[in-house]
Amino acid sequence: MSSLGAQTLYSPEEYLYLERKAIFKSEYLRGEILAMSGASRAHNYITLDIATEINIQLRDQD
């Protein structure tokens, strides 16, 4: 039988306070603070290229 440790839940105010001081950013979900994965520069360029292409394809469409 596995046991789970006590889980700390944070208020939105506590999260914002901690997030302002954090080196690595996180997200807040129902009292939990979850680490966000980072994206590389190459990933961001690929995402931008895809979004631009979709925008061009859908331009002038209803």
- pLDDT tens-digit readout, 11-39: 999 999 999 999 888 999 999 999 888 78
The reported pLDDT for the residue numbered 1 is 44
> pTM value?
0.52
Confidence band for 4, pLDDT divided at 50, 70 and 90: low
CA dihedral 17, 29, 38, 16 (to 10 degrees): -10
- Structural domain boundaries of the chain? 12-58
The reported pLDDT for the residue numbered 40 is 85
Rounded CA Rg of the chain: 19
